[in-house]
Each structure stands twice: as structure tokens, then as C-alpha cells.
Amino acid sequence: MVTWKWTLTGFLLLSFGAVAQQPTDGSLSPHTNPARTAQAAGPASPESSSAQAVQPPPTTMDQVVDRAIQREHALMNFLKSRTPLVETYLQNLKPDPDLGAVPKEDHYFLGRIDLASVDRHDYLSKDENFEKNLLGGFIKLFRSEYQPMGFSWMIFADRDDFGRIHYDFKYSHREFAGDVRCLVFDVTPKKDAGKGRFVGRIWVEDQDYNIVRLNGIYAPRPRNAYFFHMDSWRLNLVPGYWLPAYIYSEEGDFSYGHKDKIAFKAQSRVWGYNLRQTGKEDELTDVKVDAVKDESPAAADASPLEAQRQRQQQAEYNVVVRLEQAGLLAPTGDVDKVLDTVINNLIVTNNLVLARPVHARVMLTTPLETFSVGNTIVVSRGLIDVLPDEPSLAAVLSHELAHIALGHNLGSKFAFSDRMLFTDDKTYTNMGFRHSPAEETAADAKAMELLKNSPYAQKIDTASLFFKQLSARAPQLQALLTTHLGNSFVTGKGELIRLATLEGTGPALDINKLDQIAALPIGGRIKLNAWDDKIELSKSAPVAIVTARDKMPLEVTPFFPHLARMNAAETPAAQKASADSPVDSANTPQHERLNPGTR
């Protein structure tokens, strides 16, 4: 039996944002130094470091261009054995008299790409399907795609022909991108360079001359393909290399009298560069189970109840490890601790007695979902991104905690190792943690009771607004609200399924009330390390909301990451950025984003 030593923490009633900046044990630093982790993780780049060492610094802009071209080819070479996950979430837009462009419908794509085989011909295929042209056939949900995927145009400027033969480079100006001094060049394809060439701007950092940002489009457009404007960001996550991590795409013009057929905003994220490569479809992934500790008293056989609990714990461990291997679950880290604190607050104030501690983990995907397996509660990154504050986070967690408290244990079939033998792309078909409607109803009732006894009881209005917002936007955001492993929050028609009693409480949803923040835009809270999948809470300062159009609940917004060199992680500037003053979102309308200063 575990001894209970829970204590209430000091930041019990602070906003989520404030909690984020004050982890319980002050151990944020190990995860904010990607240099250390990347070096530990392996393939540093002797090739790049030594190559850089022998080359004298360029003295002309022409030499800078040559170095940038050379580094781009080195990056392609470095990544060619990698099969990262790529996720794209896209919202089609329609004009709204009050809010400007609002989502009309949405699409979600998740898969793995083989960077060895992408080339510029992928996106020049004859397929007329909109999505296929946008994503090069990348349409199946979490399917390992080892064929060319057509993503090259988003990840590299030109996979095949990036060089002076096909392009002209014109120096524009110097500019800081975050902490990184950059030389900015305009890139245009030469006459007769062929279709689908990059036209736009590149940002080249001034130390090793890697491209850190690409902004532009591909032209001219072939007859049967669409190209879209994109803003592609790279992060220095491995010594000497800047890895493609975030891509924002946008098309459409809603100015008066203008009629665009296609209007959308899309966020693409790349991660899992350093995942073990399970490789081909027929290669099965085995799960080691020997790390589960036997907690039964020494030299004693397990009692029937203990045996049952050990089996559930085994299953929980198997599932967590398997999801991590598939690149769907972040490694344990500080975001888990924030979630654990909120869970703890619910447990302690309700005097819940549980057989084992409950812990939270974060799934790396965008669709809003939660589920629990054994005593592990899993929350998606997208959901954490859009939750407006700590009480709404508590409401979401309370439902899963209720399942655990009521003994609604799912997934114990995964205690059998053979059930863990499947390829990564089959994760969503082989796993599932959905409860019956009866268990859902019971968990909701228990969750309301847990919330009522908790410190969040007085601030539950924002949670009720959050669920009202989900319900209001559900018909347009079905992809975002389609769960893959857990139970749904709402029906496609907008009928609230989860915690439906919250809908009847609190104020009415009113987009024009600026002090009402029901849900945040997507992508503002969690920063994902594309190399090792570690996550941390974003350090952006809150931005005041001035008009209803600033709210953008559950909407796609542009990426604007703060670029920094790996070894600069512990500079005074980086420390200053993390010392933002906590602001209670219940009183001050705010958005937290990747870089508020650039809006």
C-alpha cells in the first residue's frame, strides 16, 4: 500500500499560466537545455562541426549564398534516414460579419514520412484531389507512409535542385529572428527553371549559414496542382543543424469584392526525428515489460486482488511505452507535473483513497481528447493548448480521475504482450480506451462531485464557458473534436456529451464580451521539441485582447517561434523570457502565444 503524503501546493488558485512558470520542484532547467539532451541522444554532427571549422568565414554575400546552399544539402543528407511524424491541421474559412474569417470546416492529417524518398516530383502528380495536392497523398490517419509524400516543398526549399543553376539569390537585409542574427535573401527561380520552383525569402543565420526560415510559394503552378503560401520555421535542436519543425500555410482573401475559391489556415508540425525507426510495414515492435516493479511484499505470492492490480499496472505500462515508441506520447516532463498538481488538488480535497498514485501524460497530437489507462491520465497537446485556465483543466481531468476512482479500468487486455505487437500506423486501430455510456454518465456525476469539493468550485464558470464553446463550434470543427483513443466531448451536431451539466451553469457564451475567454487559439501553450519529442510550456507573455476578433477560440493561428541557438538556452535573455509575471486569466483577458510581440 502506498503511503499518502499529498500536500496542497502554493499555487493552488493561480491561473494555469502562472502554474506553468513555477514547477513544484524548480526542475525546469534540464528540459530547457536542448543542447544537453540532443548530445546525449546521439548523432551529433561531426561532419558539420569539422566542416565549419576548416572553412574561413565568408567575406561576400555570394559566399554566404554558397554556404547556405551547402548547408541545405547537408541538412537533406542528415535527415535522409529519418522518418518523422508530420501532422497538419487545416481550417477552411468563411467570412463572418463580426469576427472576420471563421472556420467553416476542418481537416486533420497525421502520418510518418520517409525523408529519404521525398522529391519535388511528388507534389507535381496529376491527382486533382485538393487534399492530395496539398499534402501529396498524405491523407490516411496515422498511416506509415514510406512512399514519396509531397511534403518536400514544405520542409526543404527544393529537394532536388536547390542551387545557383536554378535560382537567383538577392541579398535583402539583416534581421533578428528571435535571438538569432540573420541575413535575408530573396530567392527567385531562373527563367525556364521549370514548374513548382520556390519563390520567396530565406533567412540564413550568420554563424554556420543554415537556413532557419523559408517564406514563400512554389511557382509556376502546374495545371493539376495547387500550391499554397507557407512560412516554414526551423529550430536548432541538434548541433550544427536547424530542423524543420513548424509550417504555417494560409490562402484566401476576404477583402470586399474579392472571391477566393480556397480560403484556409493550416498548421503543420514535424516531430519524432529521433524516434527509433521501426522501418517497414512488416516490422513488428516488441515491448519490453521487465521494467515494471513488483510491488508485492517480498517472498510472497500476490493475493487475488494484488494479482489483478499488477496485471492492470502491467497493461498501463505497456500502453504508455508503446504510445511513446510510436511518437504519440511525450516523454515524462514538466508539463506532466503541472497536470499532476491539478490532479493532486482534486484528490486531496476530496480525500480520495486510491490504490496507486495517478499520473498524467501528454499525447502529442492536436485533436482534443483525454483517456485513461490504469492510473495514467492522457491529455492531448491540442486540448492543453486551448484550455483557458486551471479550473477548466481541472474539469477535464476530473472526468478521467472519476473513472479511476470508480474503478472503471480499461485496457487490461494489453497486459498480454502479444497484444502490443503491431506496427505504428495501426496504433489507432489496435488501441482504444472508450467507456460505455453508463460509465461515462457515472464518471460525469463523480467528476462534478470532485469539482464541487475542490478549490476550483468557485471558478468553474470558465470551464462551463469552455464546454459551451466546444458545443458552439463542434459542427465546424469535427476533425478537431474527433477523438482517436478516448470518448468524445460533443456530437457532430454540437450536443455536449462530456460534463453536460456544466452547460447549464455559469454565464451564457458571448463572443463580444471581451472579459470572456472561453477557449484559446490552437498552438499557444505547448512547445514541442521536434528532435526528442520533449515538451515544455511556452513562455510567451499574455497579450491583451482588444476586439472580439482577437479571441479566435479553437482557431488556427500563425506560428512565430522565438529562434535561439542551442548553446544560448541559458543566456540572461532566455531567463528573462521565463520570468513573465503571472496574470490571472479570469480577470484579465489574454492570449498566450509563441511570440506575442510580433502580432
CA-closest candidate to residue 91, choices 79, 78, 102, 77: 102
Buried b / exposed e over 555-582, threshold 16 CB at 10 Å, is bbbbbbbbbbbbeebeeeebeebeebeb
Amino acid at position 370, single letter? T
Of the two residues 487 and 595, which places its CB atom closer to Zn ion in the complex? Answer: 487
Q: What DSSP designation does 367 have?
A: S
> Hey, how many other C-beta atoms are within 10 angstroms of the C-beta on 121?
14
Phi, psi values for residue 37, rounded to 5°: -65, -40
Helices first, then strands: H and E counts in the chain = 16, 17
Q: Looking up cell 458545443, which residue turns up?
A: 471
Q: Which is closer to Zn ion, CB of 170 or CB of 413? A: 413
Number of residues that bind Zn ion (CB under 5 A): 4
Q: Cβ of residue 430: shortest distance to Zn ion, in angstroms?
A: 20
**Minimum CB distance to Zn ion smaller for 145 or for 440:** 440
Minimum CB distance to Zn ion, residue 370 (Å): 8
Complex with Zn ion: residue 341 or 487, whichever CB lies closer: 487
Beta bridge partners of 379: 362, 370
Nearest residue (CB) to Zn ion, 90 versus 373? 373
What is the C-alpha to C-alpha distance for residues 494 and 489, in angstroms, rounded to an integer?
A: 9
CB of 444 to Zn ion, least distance (A): 8
Question: By the 8 A CB rule, do 424 and 110 touch?
Answer: no
Cα–Cα distance, 284 to 304 (Å, whole number): 33
CB of 439 to Zn ion, least distance (A): 7
User: Whole-angstrom Cα distance, residue 108 to residue 478?
Assistant: 9
| 25-59 b/e (C-beta count within 10 Å ≥ 16 → b) | eeebeebbbbbebbeebeeebeebeeebeeeeebe
Q: Which of 11, 7, 79 is nearest to 530 (CA)?
A: 79
Instruction: Rank residues 225 and 401 by Cβ distance to Zn ion and give the closer one.
Output: 401
- Binding to Zn ion by CB under 5 A, coded x per residue (else -) over 483-512, reads ----x-------------------------
Q: Is the distance from CB of 375 to CB of 483 less than 8 angstroms?
A: no
State which residue, 378 or 530, has the beta carbon closest to Zn ion.
Answer: 378
**Nearest distance in Å: CB 498, Zn ion:** 7
Q: Which is nearer to Zn ion, 487 or 590 (CB)?
A: 487
Q: Which of residues 229-288 bind Zn ion (CB under 5 A)?
A: none
- Least distance (Å) from Zn ion to the CB of residue 157? 46
Least distance in angstroms from the C-beta of 314 to Zn ion: 22
**Candidate ranges 278-286, 389-397, 439-447, 474-482; the one touching Zn ion (CB under 5 A):** 439-447
| Region of 381-389, 481-489, 533-541, 555-563 interacting with Zn ion (CB under 5 A) | 481-489
Which residues 440-459 are close enough to bind Zn ion by CB under 5 A?
440, 443
Minimum gap (Å) between residue 214 Cβ and Zn ion: 42
Write phi, then psi, for 318 (nearest 5 degrees).
-60, -45
Specify the stretch interacting with Zn ion by CB under 5 A; choose among 13-21, 382-390, 411-419, 480-488.
Answer: 480-488
Instruction: Name the minimum Å distance from CB 408 to Zn ion.
Output: 8
| Grid-cell match 533578428, residue found | 176
CA distance 78 to 168: 25
408 binds Zn ion (CB under 5 A): no
Q: Which of residues 135-174 bind Zn ion (CB under 5 A)?
A: none
By C-beta, is 28 or 363 nearer to Zn ion? 363
Q: What angle do CA 253, 256, 261 make, to 5 degrees?
A: 40
Nearer of residues 435 and 484 to Zn ion, judged by Cβ: 435
> In this structure, are residues 107 and 140 in contact, taking their beta carbons and an 8 Å threshold?
no
Smallest distance from Zn ion to CB 413, Å: 18
Is the distance from CB of 259 to CB of 587 less than 8 angstroms? no
Rounded to a whole number of angstroms, the minimum distance from the CB of residue 440 to Zn ion is: 5
For residue 239, the minimal CB distance to Zn ion (Å) is 44
Cβ distance to Zn ion smaller for residue 265 or 403:
403
Interacting residues with Zn ion between 419 and 438 (CB under 5 A)? 435
Quote the least distance from Cβ 497 to Zn ion, whole Å: 9
Q: Are strands 376-380 and 359-363 parallel, antiparallel or unpaired?
A: parallel
Distance separating alpha carbons of residues 211 and 167, to the nearest angstrom: 15
Task: Please tell me the distance from the alpha carbon of residue 248 to that of residue 63, in angstroms, as a whole number.
Answer: 30
Looking at the Cβ atoms of 454 and 487, the one nearer to Zn ion is: 487
Residues 6+ apart with CB under 8 A from 122: 136, 137, 148, 149, 150, 151, 152
Name the residue nearer to Zn ion (CB basis): 398 or 454.
398
Q: How far apart are CA 133 and CA 123, in angstroms?
A: 6
Cα distance between residue 578 and residue 510, in whole Å: 33
Q: Which residues pair with 535 in a beta bridge?
A: 528
Q: Which residues bind Zn ion (CB under 5 A)?
A: 435, 440, 443, 487
